[in-house]
Structure 1
Amino acid sequence: MLMTVSYRGADPGDLGYLLHKHPDRVHDFDLAVGQAHVFYPELDEHSCTAALLLEVDPIELVRSKRFRGDAGTLGHYVNDRPYASGSMLAVALGSVFRTAMTGRSDARPELAASPLDLRIGLHAVPLRGGADLPRRLFEPLGWRLEESTGLLDDRFPEWGASPYASITLRGSLRLGEALRQLYVLLPVLDDAKHYWVADAEVDKLLRAGEGWLPQHPERELISRRYLVHQREYVAAATARLAELDQDAGTLTEPGGEAEDATVAEAARPLNRLRADAVLAALDDVGARSVADVGCGPGALLSRLAADPRYTRIIGTDVSPAALETAARRLDLSERSDAQRDRITLHPSSVTYQDDRIAGLDAIVLMEVVEHIEPERLDAVARSVFGLAKPAAVVLTTPNAEYNARYPSLAAGAFRHPDHRFEWTRAELAAWAGGVADRYGYRVEFRAVGDPDPVLGPPTQLALFRVEVAA
């Protein structure tokens, strides 16, 4: 297995400082997966190339209990594991370039923290998942990708195309981030690992994916494949990535919304502005008992819990994994009995009656309705406004008109692949007005985020209050 990293810059030899491997030497490493060698086939005034070569002993691989092959079958002995650039190359990369992956370089700190002109070569890369999978994985990260494939065997063209490719990546990224992306995506392309996956793999995925994975459009596929489709681990990773996505508030919002550059540069990102607007609305109605319906990993709940004015806080979600993340975020296991009585979490769907949230001061639906099929919105209105009947409802949802401000969003596309619809301001007003009339509420509308003079704000908020009889 061979991987090359090339750098073009004013002093190309600085790549040696960044990788912590001197260009004048061949560096050898004995690893659990085989023997790794780092050497520099190219170094001149224009470019420097470092190569990582991993040699795997096929016989030792078969003997190893860590090998997850088809024991007892011929496939246990005849397979592509010693040659395909997958999890073994990723493990070697993580071992040999561990310090470089952290982005630390005492000799060249400014260079380590800066985007570099990089070219990465990968060979014998498995294409399990379609020929377009490498582009779906790498292009959203800023890489330009070239692939070279051929026949499986030139002597037998009837066998068809090879399921392996040579891939060249070109881009301007920080070296540490580029290495961490490869560490994750090599086994994802292969859709296999050579060792048993345990819960520690979730932490590895999150560490290596810091700064890029929470906002990746294929993060769910990446999580599934990296964690070898182990449901428990995938659910935990999905919930934690959603939490990181929500906290990032830059390229992707809690519901997956891509922010405009002007919003991203604001003092507070849109997800913070949205939560601030919800809290302001709760304050305006004097709420003390609140349910965050569709609470996700608990970002709003944590802010409610920090305010002693809220004496009863309920979080509900259809995802048990999200609720587990919220519980960890709220540190419920370490709270006193009184605090645990004050804050409760339980699984529930907004489309069904839930008497546990009935009669509260307020219910929050923050970026929830757009994830529901339009034909089920009447059920949402009935369960929230008709049956739970809180004194107030605070609802936020994207403003579809503002999508024109997102240059990366195609015309007519939604901000998140799970959105079933996105309303214009007029469409929200029509739906909210009808619900208010039907269930005895009055509604007002507020802008969230910096509004465009024509398109309006990025997020729209509807505040419903029960009509008081004269």
Structure 2
Amino acid sequence: MTISSTAEHASDLGFLLHKHPEKAQTFAVSGGSAHVFYPEATDRRCTAALLLEVDPVALVRGRRPSDGFSLTQYVNDRPYAASSMLAVAMGKVFRTAMSGQCKARPELPGRPLPLEIRIPVLPCKGGADVARRVFEPMGWAVDARAVPLDPEIPAWGDSRYVDLTLTAEIRLAEALNHLYVLLPVLDNTKHYWVSTDEVDKLIRAGEGWLAAHPERELITRRYLAHRRELVVTATGRLAEVDDAEPESLDNAVPESEAEVPERKVSLAQQRRGAVLAALRAAGASRVVDLGCGEGALLRDLLADASFSEVLGVDVSHRALQIAARRLRMERMPDRQRERLTLAQSSLTYRDERLRGYDAVVLVEVVEHVDPPRLGALAATVFGHARPSTVIVTTPNVEYNVLYEDLPAGTMRHRDHRFEWTREEFRAWASGVATAHGYGVRYLPVGPEDPALGSPTQMAVFSLLGVEK
């Protein structure tokens, strides 16, 4: 695998990888040796190469095959193709780089770099399409070319390997963590025992991108070697249980890749659909997504031309960076790009940029605010910004007992400061509406239980005296 940077002072890549460009280094890893060296290292372009030298005999030495002697233990593609073994080598050789640390140059890890990563022989079950499906949502441009079985005999067709090249402007630590997870996913095989430790590794390496990835289930399933109990554990930890209902074991891991279970519409999708419907009903054209996170609702708003101006606001600069990358702002057509603005701001302080919009939306936001700060949030949104329409969604804590994987008394996300009953939510919403001159109505989102209500509760506030 090669990693190339064309950033200004490109040889700073050596600081980030903690490997000196003028040295060739060798590290002992399971089943062989990993070599790191630099084919080129100038201020204009720098390339680091990771070469994994696999010893097929060492891989099986001391192990008893379950089905008797098998020649495939000794004759296989492991010395010639990238696999989960390359990911393991990355985890050992580039561990500090993957954690985003650089004591010598602490400013470097947070800086996105123009990177090109090439893996010339990578097993890829599902072909180039699967490679694009797993890498493109994180902002990678993917060039995956099938490797022929034999260039001299075209009639034999293509092999199961691809020559993969990835390009993006991205932090190196993010890039390495993407590869660490996705190399074994594309190979669809792990060459070591998969235990509960792998769930922790997946959660750690997937932080900030995997939970919202459109192919999360495929990635989780393959990374955990289709071990049903581990997939269920990982799914519960990756997603907020209010964003995706826990799947049954049968749906979590199809017995074969050919069996594609019918996809349910997740609660997150239902919630965004309900918000969009309420905005259209209100006739809103200029919309603020307050607490926009990584941009899921922004994407839906931009897809509807009736929303002429969209402002995404979040207190987290990192979340806004991820949103910009996932929305591919740098590649957007000019007309669409002119409709979108991203801004960093606090939810509880007045900001003149919020004024003048038709609607403000807070989707699963209020429960992340400390209760003493809710008054400031209401003053900012209803008193200062004062749009014609405000839409608020929040979990219904009464519904939590229906989530089998959620321990009693536990909230749906570790960052939630509280979760309201339906009565508590209505008391807060009606108090805010009365204090600021709004009317309010309530709508359920998601499957309703006769006694417990729906998993998400939504309030639609309308400024009194304003015609729709």
TM-score (norm 2): 0.61
Please, which runs of 5 or more residues in structure 1 have no aligned partner? 281-298, 305-312, 332-342, 344-356, 373-379, 397-443, 457-470
CA distance in 1, matches of 2:452, 2:57: 68
What is the Cα deviation at residue 134 of structure 1?
0.8
C-alpha distance after superposition, 1:219-254 (max 9, x if no partner): 111111111111111111111111399799612569
What is the Cα deviation at residue 107 of structure 1?
1.6
CA distance in 2, matches of 1:189, 1:158: 25
Would you say 1:395 and 2:438 are equivalent positions? no
CA 1:92 to 1:275, structure 2 compared with 1: closer, same or farther past 3 Å?
same
CA distance in 2, matches of 1:169, 1:273: 35
8 Å Cα contact 1:253/1:271 also seen in 2: no
Match of 1:37?
35
C-alpha distance after superposition, 1:258-288 (max 9, x if no partner): 89652444534944436489x99xxxxxxxx
Would you say 1:446 and 2:422 are equivalent positions? no
8 Å Cα contact 1:263/1:270 also seen in 2: no
CA distance in 2, matches of 1:68, 1:253: 47
Match of 2:132?
135
Taking only the aligned residue pairs, the percentage that are identical comes to 45
What is the Cα deviation at residue 64 of structure 1?
5.2
Residue type at the aligned position of 2:293? T
Query: What SS is found at the alignment partner of 1:122?
Result: strand
Query: What SS is found at the alignment partner of 2:92?
Result: helix
Would you say 1:194 and 2:286 are equivalent positions? no
8 Å Cα contact 1:249/1:272 also seen in 2: no
What is the Cα deviation at residue 162 of structure 1?
1.4
Which sits farther off after the overlay, 83-92 or 123-132?
123-132
What is the Cα deviation at residue 204 of structure 1?
0.5
CA distance in 2, matches of 1:217, 1:6: 28
What is the Cα deviation at residue 61 of structure 1?
1.6
Match of 2:350?
none
CA distance in 2, matches of 1:64, 1:271: 55
What is the Cα deviation at residue 175 of structure 1?
0.5
The counterpart of 2:15, out of the listed 14, 17, 20, is 17
CA distance in 2, matches of 1:115, 1:181: 15
Would you say 1:273 and 2:352 are equivalent positions? no
CA 1:71 to 1:103, structure 2 compared with 1: closer, same or farther past 3 Å?
farther
CA distance in 2, matches of 1:192, 1:153: 24
What is the Cα deviation at residue 165 of structure 1?
1.1
CA distance in 1, matches of 2:242, 2:90: 26
Would you say 1:225 and 2:222 are equivalent positions? yes
CA 1:267 to 1:237, structure 2 compared with 1: closer, same or farther past 3 Å?
same
CA distance in 1, matches of 2:65, 2:12: 39
8 Å Cα contact 1:202/1:227 also seen in 2: yes
Give the root-mean-square deviation of aligned CA atoms.
Answer: 4.0
C-alpha distance after superposition, 1:115-145 (max 9, x if no partner): 0011111121111023301111111111111
CA distance in 2, matches of 1:30, 1:263: 47
Would you say 1:170 and 2:167 are equivalent positions? yes
CA 1:130 to 1:168, structure 2 compared with 1: closer, same or farther past 3 Å?
closer
8 Å Cα contact 1:119/1:168 also seen in 2: yes
The counterpart of 2:293, out of the listed 246, 250, 262, is 250
8 Å Cα contact 1:187/1:225 also seen in 2: yes
Query: What SS is found at the alignment partner of 1:132?
Result: helix
CA 1:238 to 1:154, structure 2 compared with 1: closer, same or farther past 3 Å?
same
CA distance in 1, matches of 2:425, 2:365: 19
CA 1:81 to 1:245, structure 2 compared with 1: closer, same or farther past 3 Å?
farther
What is the Cα deviation at residue 148 of structure 1?
2.7
8 Å Cα contact 1:28/1:36 also seen in 2: yes
Match of 1:417?
none
1:85-104 matches, within 5 Å, as 85-104=82-101
Residue type at the aligned position of 1:138? F
TM-score (norm 1): 0.60
CA 1:181 to 1:58, structure 2 compared with 1: closer, same or farther past 3 Å?
same
CA distance in 2, matches of 1:91, 1:393: 40
CA 1:45 to 1:363, structure 2 compared with 1: closer, same or farther past 3 Å?
closer
C-alpha distance after superposition, 1:53-100 (max 9, x if no partner): 0000011123254x9997644433332233221100000011000000
CA distance in 2, matches of 1:64, 1:135: 39
What is the Cα deviation at residue 31 of structure 1?
0.9
Which sits farther off after the overlay, 109-118 or 56-65?
56-65
Residue type at the aligned position of 1:21? K
CA distance in 2, matches of 1:23, 1:393: 54
Query: What SS is found at the alignment partner of 2:229?
Result: helix
CA 1:63 to 1:93, structure 2 compared with 1: closer, same or farther past 3 Å?
same
CA 1:184 to 1:446, structure 2 compared with 1: closer, same or farther past 3 Å?
same
CA distance in 1, matches of 2:413, 2:209: 25
Residue type at the aligned position of 1:176? A
Match of 2:207?
210
CA 1:37 to 1:328, structure 2 compared with 1: closer, same or farther past 3 Å?
farther
Match of 1:28?
26
CA distance in 2, matches of 1:188, 1:163: 14
Which sits farther off after the overlay, 232-241 or 75-84?
75-84
Residue type at the aligned position of 1:446? F
CA 1:170 to 1:314, structure 2 compared with 1: closer, same or farther past 3 Å?
closer
CA 1:262 to 1:98, structure 2 compared with 1: closer, same or farther past 3 Å?
same
8 Å Cα contact 1:87/1:194 also seen in 2: yes
Match of 1:150?
147
CA 1:16 to 1:362, structure 2 compared with 1: closer, same or farther past 3 Å?
closer
